[in-house]
Structure 1
Amino acid sequence: MKNVFIFLFCFFFLFSCENEGELTRKSLESTTISSAAILKYSGEFSSTSGITVSGFAKIYLENNEYKLKLEDFTVSDGPDLKVYLSKENTPINFVNLENFKGNGNTLYTIPSSVNVSEYQYVLIHCQQYNHLFAIAPLTSI
């Protein structure tokens, strides 16, 4: 009986984060910013304990739309990672932009209802286990 319990626990732990949430499922977008886009905010990522991260968060204004670009970005693998635009350096007061698309250069559209100037951080967060992976404090350009 003990072996069955251990097996079920391990199975749940390994496969519980496989499904994507309905609220954050979106199609992949281009990773390019037009030459007319204006860089408004930028920040370098730092990691939380036990996580490896590098790269930059950059927010551009392009055609009256704000876009977040993760540039030269790498982070340790984790389940259910989300990209947050946050008012604090913890996931307390944030906007969930989308599921994390992967390492490299990725682009996320910021909803037009968001006042970007009120948000000072980009966070990479594991929603399933409520674990913060990376923080990029933003500075105005």
Structure 2
Amino acid sequence: MNKPRSINRLRSVNRLRSVIRTHKTLAAVAGVLVLSVVIVGAALFQPWRIFTSSSVYEALPAAPGSASAPAPATPPSGSASAPAPATPASGSASAPAPATPPLATPAAPVVLSSGTFQSQEHETTGTARLVKLPDGSHLLRLEDLASSDGPDVKVWLSSLEAGGDWFKYRSGRYVDLGAVKATHGNHNYLLPAGTDISGLTSVVLWCDRFSVAFGSAPLS
């Protein structure tokens, strides 16, 4: 009479062990999946950048220096000095002195447009200036920039208005000037040769990985 009960009890124990083994396998698989998600998310979002910052301070390229006029030659000590030019006789017409051409003054960088940054996805302050250099090239200068660190942040010149909905910037014309050099400071970004600057009305700090604008500045 007790034999069937013992068999049933043994079967129940075996089933319980099987369930525990199955749950251990599922738990291990779930743990691996969670760990994978955490690793991938950390690689994409890089959350530690919330607590990091960097600074770069670059000077605005200066105009080339003017060449100084050569100093007059001085005869060596003890040598005979050159004869003085003859003085024209009284009443005769004197030859006019040759005109001295004025020294050329080098051109200076010219600010074409500028604007103040406004915050969008992250707090951002500073000034953006579009500058024409003496050689005819253009650069974008960011001054007193203060923003947040982030993955894949680029500097864009955009044809769209600064501020507002930041997801709009991909739909407009833009010129990618490369990765932002630092979260703080004064930076220079040369525009590619032949860039058509007409219609580019704003500067955007753009997180290319997640299509988010950290901040933007109008150019006017």
Name the TM tier (shorter chain).
Answer: 0.7 to 0.9
- Say which SS state the counterpart of residue 38 (structure 2) adopts: helix
Cα deviation, 1:39-65, whole Å, max 9, x if unaligned, reads 11101111114x111101111100201
Q: Specify the alignment match of 2:116 in structure 1.
A: 44
- One-letter amino acid of the counterpart of residue 47, structure 1: S
CA distance in 1, matches of 2:141, 2:32: 45
Q: Specify the alignment match of 1:4 in structure 2.
A: 32
Q: Specify the alignment match of 1:24 in structure 2.
A: none
Q: Specify the alignment match of 1:96 in structure 2.
A: 176
Within 5 A, what are the aligned runs for 1:1-141? 1-16=29-44, 31-35=59-63, 36-49=108-121, 51-62=122-133, 63-89=135-161, 90-92=169-171, 93-102=173-182, 103-139=184-220
CA distance in 1, matches of 2:42, 2:152: 12
- Say which SS state the counterpart of residue 113 (structure 1) adopts: coil
Cα deviation, 1:59-95, whole Å, max 9, x if unaligned, reads 1100201000110001111110000001013233211
Higher relative contact order (CA 8 A, sep 6+): 1
Q: What displacement does 1:17 show?
A: 7.1
- One-letter amino acid of the counterpart of residue 154, structure 2: K
Q: What displacement does 1:114 show?
A: 1.5
Q: Which has the higher strand share?
A: 1
Cα deviation, 1:90-140, whole Å, max 9, x if unaligned, reads 23321111111102111100112211122001001110111111111110x
Q: Which has the higher helix share?
A: 2
> Is this contact kept in 2: 1:82–1:99, CA < 8 A?
yes
Q: What displacement does 1:5 show?
A: 2.1
Q: What displacement does 1:12 show?
A: 1.7
**Long gaps (5+) in structure 1:** 19-27
**In terms of mean alpha carbon deviation, does 8-17 or 39-48 score higher?**
8-17
CA distance in 2, matches of 1:109, 1:115: 13
- Say which SS state the counterpart of residue 126 (structure 2) adopts: strand
TM-score of the superposed pair, with normalisation by structure 2: 0.54
CA distance in 1, matches of 2:114, 2:35: 45
- One-letter amino acid of the counterpart of residue 133, structure 1: F
CA distance in 1, matches of 2:59, 2:127: 14
TM-score of the superposed pair, with normalisation by structure 1: 0.82
Cα 1:2/1:12, change in 2 over 3 Å: same
